[in-house]
Amino acid sequence: MSELAKRLDYWSSKFRLLDNWIIESEDISEYTKKFSGRIFFDQNMPEVEVSCCPKGICIDQYAFHEIIHVLFTAVRRGGKKEEELAVQDLCKIFKELKDAR
């Protein structure tokens, strides 16, 4: 499992709304491509593929950034309940980070 895949798995596990999502990454070295990061959504399924991490970008920050895109897509596909779950989980992450200081 690539480092990007590990970080995507870690961050997606923080969001209950993403429990049924399949989130994959390209199985190549994260720093070999020169283009910007990309994310590809399946229009009908809870599946997404995240491209390799752009050169010079922190893998953990990139993974979190892309997971937030997935989260927003899940909220758009859902409704008020999904929005509330996302907000609760974001607040929990914020509290964990604040408490870790």
Using 50 as the pLDDT threshold, list the residues of the chain that sit under it: 29-36
Distance CA 6, CA 73 (A): 21
Quick one: which of 59, 60, 58, 40 has its CA closest to 50? 40
Token representation of residue 78:
């859902």
pLDDT on residue 52: 72
pLDDT on residue 25: 83
Q: What is the pTM of this model?
A: 0.81
Give all strands of the β-sheet with 47-50 in edge-to-edge order: 22-25, 47-50, 39-41
